């Protein structure tokens, strides 16, 4: 844990309002934010929480899928992805997961919630793949949940959920996450009946489901690029993002299977903004909201961990009329200079270095 200072145009607080500031960091925590008048040479952005991934899919990256149904591709146990995972040696799985973690870190993500298949062994491989400065929340299955943070269920319908297993996970204090409403409404009510801590997709949610998620304060993780890629939606009304926001739902953002979608949260934010017309504040709240799983806000505020992205805004700094809008729709991950997680900066190659005064 290092002390230090970083200066620039920072997107502060829950409104992500850009302010020209100096941020003081002590023991990995933001201890002070003060206004400065120096010319701006960099932007400072809260790091992202990618709220839904399957990073082991890296080994099946961009397998051609034209004309194939979702169930045929990803459903347990014989979907194409599971066949590929089963025949991939452990050492290659570990390398592939580590490389996706490096990619995520280099593109501004320092934490992610991963659905890890393959039972306790699968969870062990992800733990083996970990690198400093990026923190997975692991949802295991088939017994893997007892060695992980929670139980990640593929669906309430396929395969049929083992209710006793859900109860055992709950008793062991594990979180329950489940895919629901990805391609239809059939599995939604059963998913709610499991009293999940997180619902993934919610693409086909109708008004009553939106109301229930809002009233029960169950976070919904939206994965818009995955939904478009895999046929979950063909129109901007699905998932019903605006209705969900208006109803007061807690919404987080995820990139889903690395097999089909790069785990780049800048790209996910730009897609969300373009298709669903979310405001920059709404988009950034969704891209950082998953830090609640660690008990943090994920914002640039005094008392929060110093999880920051240093960006080179390039010529955008000179011309933009809305830094917030440029941040979510234009800048892109190529502008990332370095990323910090609590105590150290990490450059794009994953090398760490301490905070410096006046960085
Ligand atoms: Zn998924």
Q: How far, in Å, is the centroid of ligand 1 from the Cα of 229? A: 13
Span from the CA of 305 to the centroid of ligand 1 (angstroms)? 28
Q: What is the pLDDT of residue 1?
A: 46
Distance between Cα 95 and ligand 1 center (Å): 21
pLDDT at 178 over 90: yes
Residue with tokens 């997709």: 201
Spacing, Cα 92 to ligand 1 middle (Å):
21
Q: What is the mean pLDDT of residues 240-255?
A: 98
Instruction: Please answer whether residues 332 and 270 qualify as being in contact, where contact means their C-beta atoms are separated by less than 8 angstroms.
Output: yes
In whole angstroms, give the CA distance from residue 218 to residue 181.
14
- Ligand 1 centroid to 46 CA: how many Å? 24
Higher pLDDT, 74 or 225: 225
Task: Please tell me the distance between residue 54's alpha carbon and the centre of ligand 1 in angstroms.
Answer: 6
Residue 228 CB contacts under 8 Å (≥ 6 apart), including other chains: 234, 271, 275
For residue 12, give the nearest of 37, 35, 28 by alpha carbon: 35
Check if the beta carbon of residue 51 is closer than 8 Å to that of residue 112. Answer: yes
Q: 201 C-alpha to center of ligand 1: Å?
A: 8
Domain 48-294: which CATH number of 3.40.1350.10, 3.20.20.540, 3.40.50.10420, 3.20.20.140: 3.20.20.140
Task: Quote the ligand 1 centre to 290 CA distance (angstroms).
Answer: 15
Tell me the domain boundaries of the chain: 4-46+298-354, 48-294
Q: Which one is predicted more confidently, 46 or 350? A: 46
d(CA 39, ligand 1 centre) in Å = 43
Question: Which pLDDT belongs to residue 200?
Answer: 98
CA of 180 to the centre of ligand 1 (A): 10
- Mark residue 83 as left, alpha or beta (left: phi above 0; alpha: psi -120 to 50; beta: remaining): alpha
How many angstroms separate the alpha carbon of residue 94 from the centre of ligand 1? 19
Gap from CA of 200 to ligand 1 centroid (Å): 7
CA–centroid distance, residue 182 to ligand 1 (Å): 9
What is the distance in A from the centroid of ligand 1 to the CA of 4?
A: 38
- Which residues fall inside 5 Å of ion ligand 1, going by CB? 256
Decide if pLDDT at 357 tops 70.
no
The residues, any chain, with a CB within 8 Å of residue 72's CB and separated by 6 or more, are: 79, 80
Q: How confident is the model at residue 359 (pLDDT cuts 50, 70, 90)?
A: low
Distance in angstroms (rounded) separating the CA atoms of residues 138 and 115: 6
How far away, in angstroms, is 342 Cα from ligand 1 center?
28
Q: What is the pTM of this model?
A: 0.96
Neighbouring-strand partners of residue 253: 222
Please tell me the predicted confidence (pLDDT) of residue 356: 63
The predicted pLDDT at position 74 comes to 83
Cα of 204 from ligand 1 centre, angstroms? 15
Q: Which CATH number fits domain 4-46+298-354: 2.30.40.10, 3.20.20.300, 3.30.300.30, 3.40.50.9100?
A: 2.30.40.10
The CA 357 to ligand 1 mean position distance, Å, reads: 41
Distance from the CA of 114 to the center of ligand 1, in angstroms?
9
Mapped to the 3 state alphabet, what secondary structure does the chain carry?
Answer: CCCEEEEEEEEECCCCEEEEEEEEEECCEEEEEEECCCCCCCEEEECEEEEEEEHHHHHHCCCCCCCCCHHHHHCCCCCHHHHHHHHCCHHHHHHHHHHHHHHHHHCCEEEEEEECCCHHHHHHHHHHHCCCCCEEEEEECCCHHHHCCEEEECCCCCCCCCHHHHHHHHHCCCEEEEEECCCCCCCHHHHHHCCCCEEEECCCCCHHHHHHHHHCCCCEEECHHHHHHCCCCCCCCCCCHHHHHHHCCCEEECCEECCCCCCCHHHHHHHHHHHHCCCHHHHHHHHHHHHHHHCCCCCCCCCCECCEEEECCCCHHHHCCCHHHHHHHHHCHHHEEEEEECCEEECCCCCEEECCCCC
**Ligand 1 centroid from CA 118, angstroms:** 15
Ligand 1: distance of its center to the CA of 275 in Å? 20
* Top-confidence residue, 233 or 160: 233
DSSP lists the bridge partners of residue 50 as: 112
pLDDT tens, position by position, 281-319:
999 999 999 999 999 999 999 999 999 999 999 999 999
**Rounded distance from Cα 153 to ligand 1 centre (Å):** 9
């Amino acid at each position: 844990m290092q002390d230090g200072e970083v200066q620039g145009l920072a997107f502060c607080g829950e409104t992500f309002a850009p302010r020209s500031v100096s941020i003081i960091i002590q023991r990995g925590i933001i201890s002070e934010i003060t206004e400065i008048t120096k010319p701006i040479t960099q932007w400072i952005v809260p790091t992202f929480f990618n709220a839904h991934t399957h990073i082991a899919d890296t080994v099946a990256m961009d397998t051609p899928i034209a004309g194939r149904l979702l169930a045929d591709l990803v459903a347990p146990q014989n979907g194409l992805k599971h066949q590929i995972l089963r025949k991939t040696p452990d050492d290659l799985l570990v390398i592939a997961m580590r490389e996706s973690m490096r990619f995520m870190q280099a593109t501004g993500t320092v934490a992610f919630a991963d659905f890890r298949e393959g039972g306790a062994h699968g969870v062990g491989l992800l733990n083996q793949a970990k690198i400093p400065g990026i923190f997975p929340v692991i949802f295991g299955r088939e017994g893997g949940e007892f060695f992980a943070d929670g139980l990640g269920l593929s669906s309430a319908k396929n395969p049929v959920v083992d209710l006793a297993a859900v109860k055992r996970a709950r008793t062991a204090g594990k979180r329950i996450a489940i895919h629901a409403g990805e391609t239809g409404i059939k599995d939604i009510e059963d998913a709610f009946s499991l009293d999940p801590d997180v619902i993934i997709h919610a693409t086909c949610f109708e008004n009553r489901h939106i109301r229930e998620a809002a009233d029960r304060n169950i976070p919904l993780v939206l994965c818009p690029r995955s939904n478009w890629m895999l046929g979950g939606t063909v129109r901007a009304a699905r998932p019903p993002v605006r209705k969900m926001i208006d109803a007061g739902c807690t919404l987080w953002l995820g990139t889903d299977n690395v097999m089909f979608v790069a785990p780049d949260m800048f790209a996910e934010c730009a897609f969300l903004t373009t298709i669903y017309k979310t405001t920059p504040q709404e988009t950034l709240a969704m891209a950082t909201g998953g830090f609640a799983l660690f008990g943090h806000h994920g914002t640039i505020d005094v008392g929060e961990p110093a999880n920051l992205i240093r960006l080179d805004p390039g010529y955008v700094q000179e011309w933009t009329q809305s830094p917030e809008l440029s941040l979510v729709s234009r800048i892109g991950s190529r502008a990332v200079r370095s990323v910090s997680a609590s105590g150290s900066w990490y450059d794009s190659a994953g090398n760490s270095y301490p905070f410096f005064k006046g960085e």
